[in-house]
Amino acid sequence: MKAARLHEYKKPLTVEEVPTPTPGPGQVLVKIAGSGFCHSDLHVIDKEIELPLPLPLTLGHENAGYVAAVGKGVTMVREGDAVVIFGGWGCEACGPCVSGHEQLCDSPQWAGLSKWNGGYAEDILVPKESYLVKLSRLDPRRAAPLADAALTPYRAVKKALPFLEPDYKALVIGLGGLGQYGVKFLKILSGCELIAVDISDEKLKIARNDGAEHTLNGRDPDLREKVMDLTNGKGVCAAFDFVGSDQTLAAAVSVTRSLGKVTQVGLGGGTANLKVLANSRFEVAFEATLWGTLKELREVTALAENETLSLEETEFAPLDRINEVCERLKRGGVAGRIVVTP
Amino acid sequence: MKAARLHEYKKPLTVEEVPTPTPGPGQVLVKIAGSGFCHSDLHVIDKEIELPLPLPLTLGHENAGYVAAVGKGVTMVREGDAVVIFGGWGCEACGPCVSGHEQLCDSPQWAGLSKWNGGYAEDILVPKESYLVKLSRLDPRRAAPLADAALTPYRAVKKALPFLEPDYKALVIGLGGLGQYGVKFLKILSGCELIAVDISDEKLKIARNDGAEHTLNGRDPDLREKVMDLTNGKGVCAAFDFVGSDQTLAAAVSVTRSLGKVTQVGLGGGTANLKVLANSRFEVAFEATLWGTLKELREVTALAENETLSLEETEFAPLDRINEVCERLKRGGVAGRIVVTP
Amino acid sequence: MKAARLHEYKKPLTVEEVPTPTPGPGQVLVKIAGSGFCHSDLHVIDKEIELPLPLPLTLGHENAGYVAAVGKGVTMVREGDAVVIFGGWGCEACGPCVSGHEQLCDSPQWAGLSKWNGGYAEDILVPKESYLVKLSRLDPRRAAPLADAALTPYRAVKKALPFLEPDYKALVIGLGGLGQYGVKFLKILSGCELIAVDISDEKLKIARNDGAEHTLNGRDPDLREKVMDLTNGKGVCAAFDFVGSDQTLAAAVSVTRSLGKVTQVGLGGGTANLKVLANSRFEVAFEATLWGTLKELREVTALAENETLSLEETEFAPLDRINEVCERLKRGGVAGRIVVTP
Amino acid sequence: MKAARLHEYKKPLTVEEVPTPTPGPGQVLVKIAGSGFCHSDLHVIDKEIELPLPLPLTLGHENAGYVAAVGKGVTMVREGDAVVIFGGWGCEACGPCVSGHEQLCDSPQWAGLSKWNGGYAEDILVPKESYLVKLSRLDPRRAAPLADAALTPYRAVKKALPFLEPDYKALVIGLGGLGQYGVKFLKILSGCELIAVDISDEKLKIARNDGAEHTLNGRDPDLREKVMDLTNGKGVCAAFDFVGSDQTLAAAVSVTRSLGKVTQVGLGGGTANLKVLANSRFEVAFEATLWGTLKELREVTALAENETLSLEETEFAPLDRINEVCERLKRGGVAGRIVVTP
């Protein structure tokens, strides 16, 4: 099969022929329909995040496709089933794993980010059948981003539910692929009015279409004051920072009420600074959430299957041109997810 | 002022002239715009629920209106303000009161159900200004049912949020006034598909309009099996029984999954029977919720003010004809709330 | 190896020679040091609980011992390791399993209660190494009851933690093996004063030694009034019924405050009846908890290893005499756990 | 009556004669038995925290004493009752107040830190009787520190309960007055082994006596490594920083596991910096808790009344010498709380 492999950090991926894996007992081979190109892979390619393992490696952790072959003992799926693939594989033995938080495993075995190859390929070997979430209505090519671009903001919103009180407003900073899903999940799971912030007027418009009641341009020098005005001086009950820079985190912290929560989503690279009586109120909870659980992927998939969640616009690119995708993402300006198709 | 007073149990109310109260320090006099006639008042009039206090008493705990006069020290409202009135007044000192659950007070001082007269009158005396939730856009005549008919299911749904997992379905039994709001709040606050049950096809239609994906007629002898089929044999993650009879409670318990919750809403009069390995799975939580908190009324009002929550159709009846309202409710068949107006 | 097997319901177990299993990939063979005889096995033998599988079957789900052999790929344990065995095995794929509640699996694969043989034998085959919790200090013969007799009340108490407010008292009914652990865990995990109830004065004495501040005899006709007096009329914040009869459940419900919780622990066989405004306050949560999770067994074991939890007195009986143990348990009057040793 | 009043920032307090207040309706006059001198008052006197109100002001928010006179309508206390006084008074109308978090009021009316005078005086006027928690056994002179020195760590521990898993250890940094109570509450409310850190060997010894299983000296250059070793590389499930400097906060963040929590307690003045993939794991919750609620003070008082909580050693100083107390606290080295007595 063809695979796009990372042979050396800071170098383009090599699209080459590799042996197609054979599923062992309990394992499943999935023919990739689409593999979303996630921004975090850029960090890996550029060695900003270094993986503790030898290269080459096939990246790609946001995958969906069709079951191609099943190993011995597999009973839940059969050849031809359309599936989206949970990628946050773990050791199944550490504290996070046995409490249902496998993506937070002490020794992560993530698809495409560990010894297990990912989905920038024609096929992917999945070590356990329960990692597969079956699709009934959705096209797996379009469903691939559920596995990360939708799952990650879903968990962020779900963990903030106890803070989302409808007599307060919530704030979303950064309306790229994940942030847009953030807005959608906040409308699905809470009754809070939303204040959406981005530096792109086009993205603010998308947010309004997705239900955000208020939008502000992130370049506005009076941003903080405007948020406080919109909340009658009370501050927001929950802020979600999908940018994750020092500046956006500082803004999120400064406008969040006591008993509220600031969530950092994704690998932005900024530092959150919290100092009570200075830049933060008391009892503001802060947390940087990570990806989502298998259970949460089932929930996200159910929401997409029954159209409670509408999928974002997706662009497709063939596997052979994956390095062009990579370059375009580095340059920025890509509106939504680009899904790589074999 | 005119007031409809209960002089003797099991007798009609007497509409008569009584002195208009004068607000003391911190108190507020509110001119009633509307007072929803709640089914629980029938239980009181018929002495099924006996109040520990001497008659006569003006009933009516679901009130909204305009501030008519304020006592000394009142600063948050002024004459003419449109307000909905929180009615679950408490002692402000017991455990429930000081933890924000005043409606569950050990010594309830509820409006219209304690020494404090209620809103079946031209005016009502409110003992504390913070019990008033200001309206900006809504007409208080139409907003009165927020104080109970909407607030009660809101709390029931909110307390069940941790159980509402979108890869499972939720069940609503009974689609009268409260049940309809239950459906609405489930759609606002969760992503679960809903199964709505009633014996009236008209009410099932309303539920579908409000977003319920599945409806079943409560007279269907295969009701339980159909719910299990709709959930692929898994059962629902949460069931809300707005009828509260032995039969509906038994149905709700029998179709709820392990780790799920059954909520009884309102004063139905039935008994919940739970026996594991017989009629119930393990780890099915059961709770009969009561009314809502002041904080929750603020949340409900915010949802209605910004049109996230649409108000149900309401019928109005003049105070002089309150005993006719009473009779009609006893006979059943009233679709939504009847609001009494002075 | 020798095993005590159930060949026919309502008949004694047969102690006989069976082939010793060989661990397959990922599996572990454990030499049994002790297997606690759990009351629920009596229900199985007497066919009060019927298992959906053909006999014969080796019962015994409360096991500890020493690793005897490991299958391919096992890395966390090695031959000779002392271990306590989690027994609530599941399918690893259903909702409860993937959220960390394997003991509540939709298709339970429990040790000694499914196709997997249990620990009334010389050896037991464990399907997954992560089911083993390593012991460092404890003797596995004495540690076996951690796997159920301690684990079950631990989960019951842990799920009630949000209700355990130290300005209220908690109630424990039934001070047999599980109830005694219930008292201990309530003292370890909460600051509530305890009211312990049993019909045996000896067991009340043990409860006092374990820290229960108040004890009442269950035969006392004024039991309910005395509990209300001890709580200044407020009721308890949490009640734990380890008996689970209609009577004890009714008592527990009737003395629990609003915003409190009643937990039924174990397979008592009674029915909980809850009717607000009659025998129950509003917002009393009811739940029958089941066993515990693997994560919780790790927590219980940690508490026992560092002597925060003291083990109860245990009696030992050889495997050959297991039917005598069975008879004695049926007759009642056994103080603590009887552990079967090969 | 005599009162120690702040007339000018950065100047000593003036002990002078002022009129004794008369309680209005619902108010209570309490004769002070003891008023704990809290470190935060030093920040006020030195103008590091500036109060939004004109001087003079009588400080002192950690008070207990005897009811001296009651205003009209007061029914819960009577003259002579021993009481500890909740000090986090609020507006009773904002979001935090009506949800039971009055100490987090949007417009705080704290005793001794607002227009309401505090307890460095012979008497204090309490605006609402429910702020009083009655004592039955405890001497109010010794009980005064319950109102802050014990209440503050109690809330910090209570809000961290869902994170305190007994198969992980918890960390306490800083074993002054509040930190010592922190250790005690962790032993009362959780089963976690504790790692206690301070730079004073004497305080480490006290922590061991209070039940801390492990102690480390904060000057140890290998502190972080030793914590990781003690936790087998897993990190702690919860860290409590009672010092609150940049350094201690950084240490707490760096050793906390994913799914764990770091709590900053008190007004240390440091900044918490959190950057995932750099100094912090993912899903580490951070929060700076503030004081406690009235309900929590009732719980703390109940724990002290029944001797579940032992009171720390307290030193007493007469009101006339309050400026000496102030100077000693500034110099540091005061072991526990100093209680000012009229």
The 10s digit of each residue's pLDDT in B80-94 is 999 999 999 999 999
Question: Of C289, C311, C327, which residue is a domain's last?
Answer: C289
pLDDT < 50: residue spans in chain D: none
Q: What confidence tier does A297 reach under pLDDT thresholds 50, 70, 90?
A: very high
Q: pLDDT band for position C117 (50/70/90)?
A: very high
Same domain, D247 and D272: yes
Q: If you average pLDDT over residues B207-223, what whole number do you get?
A: 97
Nearest beta carbon to residue A288 from set D49, D273, D274: D274
Q: Is B7's pLDDT higher than 80?
A: yes
- State chain B's mean pLDDT as an integer: 96
- Which residue, among C86, C98, C133, C293, would best test binding to A if mutated, counting the most A CBs under 10 Å from its CB? C98
Range of the domain at B162: 151-289
Residues 6 or more apart whose Cβ sits within 8 Å of residue B314: B142, B145, B336, B337, B338, B339
Contact D161, C159 (CB under 8 A): no
Do D297 and D216 fall into the same domain? no
What is the ipTM for the molecules in this complex? 0.96
CATH number at residue B82: 3.90.180.10
Q: Is the model's pLDDT at A268 over the cut of 80?
A: no
DSSP summary character for residue D86: -
Task: Answer whether C284 sits within 8 Å of B288, measured CB to CB.
Answer: yes
State what percent of residues in chain B have pLDDT above 70.
100
Chain B CB within 8 Å of residue C271 CB: yes
The model's pLDDT over A227-255, given as tens digits with 9 standing for 90+, comes to: 999 999 999 999 999 999 999 999 999 99
Q: Taking the model in full, what pTM does it have?
A: 0.97
- The pair of structure tokens assigned to D185 is 């509450």
Whole-number Cα distances in Å, A150 to A54, A62, A299, D277: 30, 10, 11, 22
Q: Report the residue of chain B nearest C259, measured CA to CA.
A: B96
Task: Judge whether B158 is closer than 8 Å to chain C, CB to CB.
Answer: no
Beta partners for residue D331, in sequence order: none
- Could you tell me which chain D residue has the CA closest to the CA of A281? D288
Interface test with D, best of A51, A101, A258 (most D CBs within 10 A): A258
Please check whether residues B331 and B257 belong to one and the same domain.
Answer: no
Range with the largest mean pLDDT of A322-331, B45-54, B60-69: B60-69
* B51 lies in the same domain as B92: yes
| Single-letter code of the amino acid located at D275 | K
CB contact under 8 A, A191 and B190: no
A283 and A186 in a common domain: yes
Residues D134 and D166 in one domain: no
> Per residue in A177-213, pLDDT tens?
999 999 999 999 999 999 999 999 999 999 999 999 9
Whether A338 shows a pLDDT value over 80: the answer reads yes
**Same-domain status, B175 and B130:** no
Is the Cβ–Cβ distance between D268 and D262 less than 8 Å?
no
Quick one: three-class SS letters along chain C? CEEEEECCCCCCCEEEECCCCCCCCCCEEEEEEEEECCHHHHHHHCCCCCCCCCCCEECCCCEEEEEEEECCCCCCCCCCCEEEECCCCCCCCCHHHHCCCHHHCCCCCCCCCCCCCCCCECEEEECCHHHEEECCCCCHHHHHHHHCCCHHHHHHHHHCHHHCCCCCEEEEECCCHHHHHHHHHHHHHCCCEEEEEECCHHHHHHHHHCCCCEEEECCCCCHHHHHHHHCCCCCEEEEEECCCCHHHHHHHHHCEEEEEEEEEECCCCCCEEECECCCECCCCEEEEECCCCHHHHHHHHHHHHCCCCCCCCEEEEEHHHHHHHHHHHHHCCCCCEEEEEC
Q: Do B299 and A191 touch (CB under 8 A)?
A: yes
Chain C: partners with 3+ C-beta pairs within 8 Å: A, B, D
pLDDT tens-digit series, residues C10-64: 999 999 999 999 999 999 999 999 999 998 999 999 998 888 899 999 999 999 9
How do residues A131-159 score in pLDDT, each as one tens digit? Answer: 999 999 999 999 999 999 999 999 999 99
D58 and D113 fall within a common domain: yes
- Does the pLDDT at position B167 exceed 80? yes
Q: Do residue D278 and residue A271 have CB atoms under 8 angstroms apart?
A: yes
pLDDT above 70 coverage of chain C, percent: 100
Q: For residue A15, which phi and psi values (nearest 5 degrees)? A: -85, 115
Question: Which residues of D are less than 8 Å from A289 in CB distance?
Answer: 282-283
- A127 and A192 in a single domain? The answer is no
From D289, D317, D333, the end of a domain falls on D289
Task: Kindly indicate the confidence band of residue A19, based on its pLDDT and cuts at 50, 70 and 90.
Answer: very high
C46 shares its domain with C184: no
Cβ separation of B294 and D98 shorter than 8 Å?
Answer: yes
Of C165, C213, C301, the CB nearest to D299: C165
Q: What is the pLDDT of residue A244?
A: 94
For B252-280, b/e burial (b = at least 16 CB within 10 A) is bbbbbbbbbbbbbbbbbebbbbbbbeeeb
Residues 61-90 of A with CB under 8 A from C: 76
Q: With an 8 Å Cβ cutoff, is B129 touching chain D? A: yes
What pLDDT, in 10s, does the model give residues C207-245? 999 999 999 999 999 999 999 999 999 999 999 999 999
Residue B50 is predicted with a pLDDT of 84
Is D189's CB within 8 Å of C189's CB? yes
Task: Say what the pLDDT of residue A335 is.
Answer: 73
B161 contact residues in A (CB cutoff 8 A): 161-162
D133 to chain C: closest CA residue: C167
For residue A94, the chain C residues in CB contact (below 8 A) are none
For chain B, the chains sharing at least 3 beta-carbon pairs closer than 8 angstroms are: A, C, D
- Alpha carbons D45 and B289: distance in angstroms, whole number: 49
Q: Note the pLDDT of residue D26.
A: 94
Identify the residue among C274, C277, C280 best suited for mutation to test binding to B, counting B beta carbons within 10 A and taking the highest. C274
Asked whether the beta carbons of residue D167 and residue C308 sit closer than 8 angstroms, the reply is no
Closest CA to D88 of D58, D69, D64, D112: D112
Mean pLDDT of C180-186: 98
Neighbours of chain A (3+ CB pairs under 8 A): B, C, D
Residue of C167, C232, C236 to mutate for D, most D C-beta atoms under 10 A: C167
Check CB contact under 8 Å for A309 and B191. yes
Which residues on chain D are in Cβ contact (under 8 Å) with B92?
128, 130
Residues in chain B closer than 8 A to C289 (CB atoms): 282-283
Q: Is C309 on the interface with D (CB under 8 A)?
A: yes
For residues C215 and C297, state if they share a domain: no
C93 to A25: CB separation less than 8 angstroms, yes or no: no
C98·A293 Cβ contact <8 A: yes
Distance from CA of C113 to the nearest CA of A (A): 22
Return mean pLDDT, chain A. Answer: 96
**Within this chain, do residues D252 and D315 fall inside the same structural domain, yes or no?**
no
Q: Which residue has the tokens 């489930």?
A: B186
CB contact under 8 A, B295 and A167: yes
Read off the CATH number of the domain in which D249 is found.
3.40.50.720
Rounded to 10 deg, the angle between the A294-305 and A151-159 helix axes is 110
C268 pLDDT higher than 80: no
Query: What is the pLDDT, as a whole number, of residue A37?
Result: 95
Mean per-residue pLDDT, B45-74: 95
Query: How many structural domains compose chain D?
Result: 2
